[in-house]
Structure 1
Amino acid sequence: MGTTELFLIALAVTLAVPYLIWRLGGTDQFAPLVVVQILTGVLLGPGLLGGVFPEAFQALFKPDVVQALNGVSWWAVILFVWLAGMELDLGKAWAHRVESGITAGLALGVPMVFGALAALVLLGLGDQWMGAAAQRWQFVVGVGMSCAVTALPILILLMEKLDILRQPMGQRILRYASLDDLAIWTVLAVILMDWERVGRQLLFLLAFGVATVLMRRLMRMLSRADRWMAGLVWLVLCAFGADWCGLHYMVGAFLAGVVMDAEWFEEAERDALRHHVLLVLMPIYFLSSGLRTRWGVEGGLVFAAAGLLLVASVSGKLLGVQAAGRLLRWGPGEASIIGWLLQTKALIMIIFANVLLDKQIISGETFTALLLMAVASTVLTMPMVASRLARIKALVLRAS
């Protein structure tokens, strides 16, 4: 078969298999469709499908097919990160800056320290965990931040399912996650700073600042119908500029979204676009991520590394939020609910880890361990939060 036929077969498998598992298995209470899609991407990767059926794997995922899938996945993740940037509401975070700053700082800082310590443990096991182009500090900070990430778009999805997104607690959690999301991408930009191309990067940031002022003026002048197309062109140009200077196109996509006001677009349209990107395009990104998993070290060691990172991530997030709750005198059980929601990792952490892998900061084995950790942390969220909410429903309605 030709490339087109193989590409379409890969698409059919990518769309159908996780949906059937999700629908027939009734996994929604602990693993939403997006989590099943991520797991399916891992199953179709070289470590599992490629290990059990190597001939079928090589026949289906030929280089031309993988290249075509990568092109679709690039566009998918650029759109997704752009929409995630738009979700940030820094105005509300500033209005509650003391509470938001304390909570976001502890919710990010403690798991980052725990994750950095886990990274040092991995380095003690051998150099196979660190990427070929990485300096030691880049690896440690990159893995540490991977353990601190909160997946803001998936957090929104989970809070919708729990019916707390529009409640006071849900809005508070969005403020904390928004500040952490901004810090995550800032740290990523620092990790990726290329001192050999620092002139290009400074030029990009200067041009981006000037262009942002002009773009915001233009967006206010345009009709709602025209803003979407203008926003998409702006997105592509920012992604190109960031990639050209060495910061990575996803950093540019996030910057393109964060400087846009969400109210320029109808909320229903933004929600619909995010839903459709998740439904139509992101499964291809999950497959592309799965194809990048590697099990070069002993398979059990990769799972052990994933377990270590999971413990560092979850315990760090819960302890950080518990500390914030004590300082701010939250009600009983409140910190536990917020902590479990903020430790949701899937998507944004996988995107973050993909960037580290692209830049050879981490190895394929570390990427695989991080991906498994992200899936496990997200699967834990719904059952842990739902049981706690059932006991203390009044907290949902508590004013901020």
Structure 2
Amino acid sequence: MNTSEIFLLAMLLIFAVPYLFWRLLKTDYFAPLVVVQIIMGVILGPGVMGNLFPDYHKFVFNPDVVKTLNGVSMWGVILFVMLAGVELDLKKTWQYRRESMTTAGLSLGMPLLFGCGAALLLLNYQGWIGAKAAPWQFLIGTGMACAVTALPVLVMLLEKLEILRQPMGQRLLRYASLDDVAIWGVLALLMLDWERVGRQAGFLAAFAILTFAYRRLMVRLNKNDRWAVALIWLIACSFGADWAGLHFMVGAFLAGVVMDADWFGQEALDAMFKNVLLILMPVFFLSTGLRTKWDMGGYSVFFVAGLLLLASVGGKLAAAHMAGKILKWKDGEASIIGWLLQSKGLIEIVFANILLDKQIITSETFTALLLMAVGSTMLTIPLVHPKLHRAQNRGLVGQAS
């Protein structure tokens, strides 16, 4: 077989296996298709299928095929995160800035604190801290992994729950996006890459200046030209953010945030959202799973995964309830927001991969974080759906703040 044929075979596995598993086993309630795609990405990766069928795995997912899949997945997630940014109403973010900053700060800080507590416990045992990590790096890195909210997965879950464009969905986007920007910034500090800290400041300053010129240009263009210029702007922002150490997804989100939905038309944006979700995002979920390299590390890894899951979920729920009391939310809102913000998905796995590459954590810790991310995401829909139904009956979901 030549490379193109093997690539198509890999694509067949990527699209067919999760769909058949999801449809035939009817997992939608506890594991929506996006969750199944995440799990199948891990299963099809080197950690499971690579160990069970190493020769077949190396044949199908050879370096040339994986590079191609990574390129497709990167472009898919860049488009998806941009569309998530377009969905966010900046005027509402500013209007509710006290609420947004309070909730985002708590939802980042509390699970970070809980995660650091779990990591402090792990320092007493061998095999969890990486070979090149200082204790503070291990503590902060593990804590931040517990604090991550997976923005692409959150958007999908909000879409599935049909609240993406409702006020509560917009609030959740505001909280998660502020936390995401902070998390990638902290990661750069964690790596002690002071050169990149300066780059980040330069990128954000340039972005702020160029945004004014970009917005003035867009209102003068027709719709066809707007799409072309928007894609150029998207690529430039993604490149700039990645160059600065903020990660290309942060740049893609910022690129979308400063766009107005009215420039393109809501119907066209909805069509693009569904197409990206259907055509490109499965490749992102599966190809990211293919990049995970992990060892099971014995039964202790399951205990540590449970500990980290408790820290992550407990921290997010505690933060949401604290924010609810401070901001006087209605009954039931804090629980819904806390459970949705605790969903991890593959963004946490990407974050953990970086920690593993830098030898801040070991492969055993990575495995525990991976299991925590899958468990966190699988818990979301079953626990949120009934709470959301009760809230909708009481008319809470439509409230703006």
Superposition TM-score, scaled by structure 2 size: 0.87
Q: Deviations over 1:344-399 (max 9, x none)?
A: 22244345445555666555544443333222112111111222234452033556
Is residue 119 of structure 2 the alignment partner of residue 119 of structure 1? Answer: yes
Corresponding residue of 2:241: 242
Corresponding residue of 1:376: 375
Q: Deviations over 1:205-236 (max 9, x none)?
A: 44434333322222222222211211111222
Corresponding residue of 1:65: 65
Corresponding residue of 2:268: 269
Displacement of 1:66 in angstroms is: 1.8
| Distance across 1 between alignment mates of 2:195 and 2:170 | 42
SS at match of 1:372: helix
Corresponding residue of 2:284: 285
Q: What amino acid sits opposite 2:265 in the alignment?
A: E
Q: Deviations over 1:254-279 (max 9, x none)?
A: 33333333443323333332332222
What are the within-5 Å matches in structure 2 for residues 146-165 of structure 1?
Answer: 146-165=145-164
What are the within-5 Å matches in structure 2 for residues 256-335 of structure 1?
Answer: 256-296=255-295, 298-335=297-334
| Distance across 2 between alignment mates of 1:247 and 1:165 | 25
Aligned CA distance change for structure 1 residues 355 and 83 (closer, same or farther; 3 Å): farther
Q: What amino acid sits opposite 2:341 in the alignment?
A: L
Corresponding residue of 1:37: 37
| Distance across 2 between alignment mates of 1:376 and 1:321 | 20
Q: Deviations over 1:53-102 (max 9, x none)?
A: 12211222222222222222222222233333333333212212333333
Aligned CA distance change for structure 1 residues 301 and 46 (closer, same or farther; 3 Å): farther
Corresponding residue of 1:3: 3
Aligned CA distance change for structure 1 residues 172 and 236 (closer, same or farther; 3 Å): closer
Larger deviation: 6-15 or 174-183? 174-183
Larger deviation: 310-319 or 93-102? 93-102
The RMSD of aligned alpha carbons is: 2.9
| Distance across 2 between alignment mates of 1:167 and 1:239 | 28
Corresponding residue of 1:23: 23
The question of whether the paired residues in 1 share the 8 Å contact of 2:345 and 2:377 is answered with: yes
| Distance across 1 between alignment mates of 2:358 and 2:324 | 37
Q: What amino acid sits opposite 2:156 in the alignment?
A: L
Superposition TM-score, scaled by structure 1 size: 0.87
Corresponding residue of 1:212: 211
Aligned CA distance change for structure 1 residues 195 and 399 (closer, same or farther; 3 Å): closer
| Distance across 2 between alignment mates of 1:274 and 1:357 | 33
Larger deviation: 9-18 or 327-336? 327-336
Aligned CA distance change for structure 1 residues 4 and 187 (closer, same or farther; 3 Å): same
Q: What amino acid sits opposite 2:37 in the alignment?
A: Q
Aligned residue pairs: how many? 399
Displacement of 1:17 in angstroms is: 0.3
The question of whether the paired residues in 1 share the 8 Å contact of 2:90 and 2:257 is answered with: no
The question of whether the paired residues in 1 share the 8 Å contact of 2:294 and 2:366 is answered with: no
Displacement of 1:14 in angstroms is: 0.7
| Distance across 2 between alignment mates of 1:215 and 1:322 | 39
Corresponding residue of 1:336: 335
